[in-house]
């Protein structure tokens, strides 16, 4: 899977993907937010054990590409701690070239123009 590396970012024609290892964080310790085009992933874990207290936290931010569909962001997490945030790209119309014929306009369409 992608999380063998600490962080992997993939940006291809169909999607934008961020995968990284969140270690020992549990699903309920994580939060994914979107502010404008900025994706924010936060983790906060409080551990209280045998009278001791520890806190782990992180915040990561990415500016999403302009062609990412902000309504199609899907975060998932595996049991082994791999968090993946995937966002589909906006589908673009086909870039075929063609000639567009000019239609003859009726005379009354141009009466008030000074072309």
Quick one: DSSP state of residue 90?
Answer: P
Q: Is the pTM of this model over 0.85?
A: no
Three-class DSSP category at 88: strand
Q: Pick from 62, 9, 67: which is nearest to 32 by CA?
A: 62
Q: What share of the chain is helix, strand, coil (3-state, %, to 5)?
A: 10, 50, 40
User: What are the CA-CA distances from residue 10 to residues 72, 83, 92, 101 (Å)?
Assistant: 16, 14, 19, 41
Terminal-to-terminal C-alpha distance of the chain: 63
| pLDDT tens-digit profile, the chain (115 residues) | 456 668 899 999 999 999 999 988 999 999 999 999 999 999 999 989 899 999 999 999 999 999 999 999 999 999 989 999 999 998 765 566 777 777 777 666 555 555 5
What pLDDT does residue 114 have? 53
What pLDDT does residue 1 have? 46
Please, what are the domains in the chain? 2-88 (2.60.40.790)
């Amino acid at each position: 899977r992608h999380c063998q590396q600490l962080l992997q970012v993939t940006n291809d024609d169909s999607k934008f993907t961020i995968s990284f290892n969140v270690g020992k964080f549990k699903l309920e310790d994580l939060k994914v937010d979107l502010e404008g085009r900025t994706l924010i992933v936060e983790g906060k874990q409080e551990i209280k054990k045998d009278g001791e207290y520890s806190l782990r936290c992180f915040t990561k931010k990415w500016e999403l590409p302009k062609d990412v569909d902000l309504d199609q962001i899907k975060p998932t997490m595996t049991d082994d701690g791999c968090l993946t945030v995937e966002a589909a790209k906006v589908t673009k119309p086909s870039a075929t070239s063609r000639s567009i014929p000019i239609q003859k306009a009726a005379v009354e369409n141009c009466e008030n123009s000074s072309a």
